Amino acid sequence: MHRHVLFLPRAGNLNGLKMRQEPVGVPTSGSVRVKISHSGLNLADVFACLGLYSATPTGEFIPGLEFSGIVEQVGTPTSELRPGDRVWGFSRFGAYASHIDADPRYLRKIPDGWSLAEAAAFPVQALTAWYGLVELGALHAGQRVLVQSAAGGVGLHALQIVQWKQAHAIAVIGRPEKADLLMKEFGLSADQIVLRPSGWRAGAEFGRRLDQVSGPSGRQLDLVLDAVAGPFFRPAFERLAPGGRYLLFGAADFMPTGSRRGWLRLAYQYMKRYRPDPLSMISDNRAVFGFNLIWLYDRVDEMAAMLGPMMQLPWRRPVIDSIFPAAKAFDALQHLKSGRTTGKVLLEWE
């Protein structure tokens, strides 16, 4: 048997992503072979390909953290999964492939009514939003929650959690045309949506726009869920209420504009970044939680404990922005990093 994979000889350049065919043996004991239908794309994939992701493997590697597909073979007869089952799953890299031998503990059957494409748009986004808001943020009713990139994959799932918990959402978007989706699907009002500004005074302008956002009793922010950072970190952090938590899981503002890293620009951004004072956090009773979901991959019991209650939420069918053939992975990643997407970008395997 053979499979097709997308791989990088080494991290550093998106243009280095190549496809090849390679032989595969029988599934190892305890694994489940899945014929992948769709691979989900994440900004973490872009950073991994560029070598800017702390968990990126050294040398050659296959990107990809999530997928959907059909079970083909089961490596152990005691598995609850059977050939023909439709599943979604997580992987610690390796999901940019036509087949994967997956750990069954990270596979779940696809909900009735969901397509294989929709299923691939769910795992990483939903768990990221859940872990940040519920596990770290201790979200509860009545809180004011700022969600950066609210029309993206994580953001759309975060809004569902916020509304399910009966909290008050403030959605930040990068383009004005994305507001229509949030108003239509989530019933957000115009004063719950903030357009993220651009330009050399973007940070100051963002703070001004946050001050204009109305909310219950004019309160400050209780939680911020952010994967953008850059000049938008400080104004949002400074508007945290006492007891507020800033949940940071990425830095999309550091995204290189081209297919290479661009060290000079990255160094400049790194040196000028805002660094909150830990001693001030004590007196102000505010906190910053940085997290990277991939480091939870080996903590099976903790992951299982989250997935159970997470799947009790009445999730909507995921929003898909676009689907690219696997052979067009470079174009798909370029589209993802453009900031023009609403919902999920996927690769499709024939």
Mean pLDDT in residue range 305-333: 95
User: What are the phi and psi torsion angles at 197 (to 5°)?
Assistant: -80, 170
Nearest CA to 36 out of 76, 113, 90 is that of: 90
To the nearest 5 percent, what fractions of the chain are helix, strand and coil? Answer: 35, 25, 35
Mean pLDDT in residue range 325-340: 94
Residue 256 has pLDDT above 60, yes or no: yes
User: Residue 325 has what pLDDT?
Assistant: 98
Residue 42 has pLDDT above 60, yes or no: yes
Share of the chain above pLDDT 90, in %: 71
Question: Who has greater pLDDT, 263 or 72?
Answer: 72
Q: Cα–Cα distance between 229 and 60 in angstroms, integer? A: 30
Residue 328 has pLDDT above 80, yes or no: yes
- pLDDT band with cut points at 50, 70 and 90 for residue 57: confident
Residue 36 has pLDDT above 90, yes or no: yes
- One DSSP character per residue, 206-236 reads HHHHHHH---GGG--EEEEEES--GGGHHHH
223-245 per-residue burial string, b: 16 or more CB within 10 A, e: under 16: bbbbbbbbbbbbbbbebbbeebb
Mean pLDDT in residue range 171-184: 96
Residues 6+ apart with CB under 8 A from 251: 227, 228, 229, 230
User: Residue 262 has what pLDDT?
Assistant: 67
User: Residue 77 has what pLDDT?
Assistant: 73
User: What are the phi and psi torsion angles at 254 (to 5°)?
Assistant: -85, 0
Q: Cα–Cα distance between 214 and 230 in angstroms, integer? A: 24
pLDDT 10s digits, 145-160:
999 999 999 999 999 9
- Say which CATH architecture domain 125-294 belongs to: 3-Layer(aba) Sandwich (3.40)
Residue 65 has pLDDT above 70, yes or no: yes
Report CA-CA distances (Å) from 66 to 99, 259, 264.
Answer: 12, 22, 32
Mean pLDDT in residue range 54-80: 89
Helix ranges restricted to H, the chain: 43-49, 116-120, 123-130, 153-164, 179-186, 202-212, 233-237, 263-272, 278-284, 300-310, 329-337
Mean pLDDT in residue range 50-68: 91
Mean pLDDT in residue range 325-349: 95
User: Residue 253 has what pLDDT?
Assistant: 67
- Say which CATH architecture domain 2-122+318-348 belongs to: Alpha-Beta Complex (3.90)
Nearest CA to 338 out of 258, 270, 284, 277 is that of: 258
- On whether the CB atoms of residues 66 and 88 are closer than 8 A, the answer is yes
User: Residue 243 has what pLDDT?
Assistant: 95
Q: Cα–Cα distance between 96 and 326 in angstroms, integer? A: 8
Q: Cα–Cα distance between 193 and 183 in angstroms, integer? A: 9
Please tell me the pTM assigned to this model. 0.91
Exposed, middle or buried: residue 39 (CB in 10 Å: 0-12, 13-18, 19+)?
buried
User: Residue 200 has what pLDDT?
Assistant: 86
- On whether the CB atoms of residues 317 and 118 are closer than 8 A, the answer is yes
Fold: same for 2-122+318-348 and 125-294: no
User: What are the phi and psi torsion angles at 268 (to 5°)?
Assistant: -65, -45
User: Residue 293 has what pLDDT?
Assistant: 87
User: Residue 190 has what pLDDT?
Assistant: 93
Q: Cα–Cα distance between 168 and 223 in angstroms, integer? A: 10
Nearest CA to 36 out of 118, 104, 125, 116 is that of: 116
Segments making up each domain of the chain, as ranges: 2-122+318-348, 125-294
